[in-house]
Chain A
């Protein structure tokens, strides 16, 4: 197997002295879909914005992001501009505000096509139409003249995807791409991402707070907490047999459509980045915390191929699902009309 497409090593990001990402390593191979799950403040978006150097200047970034022979964190800015939107596309949450309200769709797509494909004039229109067709926008020719406010949120996200595809990227980073959308539209967009991936063999990083979204659409999933990866595993394995107490906690906290069961909430809140607890950042909220957890920050260790975990007690813990579904009658009094 060839080396990874992109490799992040020892990435650290701090804002005004407060760490947001505290040492993160990732490797993504061609055509692979990596899901990144975490709650707010976990650093899941900041990691990728930092990798593309899209953070404001006050952010202090350390580490290495390798794409072929380039270290993206040190490459000249012209090189970065060539890669952004070219080999690496990115789409964001809330497509309505991620598109420029005063420019037509044509103009916004044309920028990417001119930059990365060297197109101009008529050939831009033709290619823009082809891309809008590809992402399933009806009346692509007419839509080129539209402004973002004349389209729905789902359509705007399709435009964002078309724009990201303009540079024929090897990697698409999708940062909470469906969070602002209705459920049925979310399903459409995730389906579209799968379709595009099948057709282009593009790698995908899907960042989401929703375990369900990530589980259904990715090969591999990494769970982040307080600026670090705490567990990484093939999607199925992660959900069937999580090894980190935080991952277990997230799964147990998630309501399902099956019969209701008592949700197991994780007590407490995410730590303040300026006042990180000693040792494992999750230990103050962890039911399994032991003295060992308060010493050093646990390293992300490889358990088996494709499986990494950062827990001092990983070897000894046997994390069972918190509760199996209770019979509906005893769980909740059903009121019948």
Chain B
């Protein structure tokens, strides 16, 4: 088991290292921060000085290794824009993003899983068909379109909810809905098919033949099995929430890390972008680790493999 966990952690670290490297390469290739921050009209001496200050005039490989060493020390650099530490800049935005993504995740789970289970148990009914159709829409509509539609209805037409900013809890409702609804629909559809697959398996009939009431069969036998594939999708949804935050925070002018990323990228604020990518990679990797761990909890067959490997 220790070996299993160690190998997973090693793999996670490797993933993060790859993301950092990738970010480094892409950012260096996509334009010179000096010209972007100082403007195209800046005198060459100023640009030269800026580059020297930030170490951009050194060989790329040296920059890369320095950067990597700094990360290992926990030093993620300083924003080229306002000179504050990148960690601090990113850190103060995290609560705002969590205030959207965590409720959105709960919204997805609270709507998606019960709707999927109910639809599977009442296959072919109007409710089931509604779930299926809305799942298609939920997946097909891009989040910015959904965001604009929600703003149009609830802010512009009805005037119930604000269309942007972060002044009260009311401001969070539309962004949370935008982030959560698509995933909820996808989760409902996925849960439904996972449940239907499990309900057709022979052990369900065994449980009924034992005399268990149907509700107990569903609760005690179908759900624990259907949870296994569903956990994969939830892990994926966590990832897509982070991606979704970038769009939604921009549309709703929500001061979170997503919006910071958009700004930092357009400014070529290397340290901040790299710090953000590290954060995104770390949260993706963490959610994957949690999914792997949940697999082990939910499925004794995988536990067996892990035990034998230890």
Contact = CB atoms under 8 A, between A and B. Distances in A.
- In the complex, A touching B, CB below 8 Å? yes
Interface of A: 49, 52, 54, 77-78, 81-86, 89-90, 92-94, 97-104, 111-112, 115-116, 147, 149-150, 160, 163, 167
B299 interface: yes
Main secondary structure of the interface of B (DSSP, over half): helix
Contact of A102 (B211, B213, B224): B224
Contacts of A111: 207, 210, 212, 216, 220
Interface of B: 201-203, 205-214, 216, 220-221, 224-225, 228, 298-301, 304
Contacts of B213: 77-78, 81
A112 B304 CA distance: 26
A189 B153 CA distance: 67
B119 to A, nearest CB: 15
Given A100-B203, A102-B299, A103-B220, 13 more contacts: A54-B208, A77-B213, A84-B208, A85-B209, A92-B202, A92-B206, A97-B203, A98-B202, A99-B206, A102-B224, A102-B300, A149-B300, A163-B210
A97 B211 contact: no
B301 A147 contact: yes
B225 A85 contact: no
15 contacts: A49-B205, A54-B205, A77-B213, A81-B213, A84-B210, A85-B209, A92-B202, A97-B201, A98-B203, A101-B301, A102-B228, A102-B298, A103-B220, A147-B300, A163-B206
B209 A90 contact: yes
A54 B205 CA distance: 7
A52 B209 CA distance: 8
A97 B205 CA distance: 10
A103 B225 CA distance: 9
A40 B102 CA distance: 53
Contacts of B224: 100, 102-103
Nearest to A101: B301
Given A102-B225, A103-B224, A167 B301 contact: no
A120 B171 CA distance: 52
Contacts of A97: 201-203
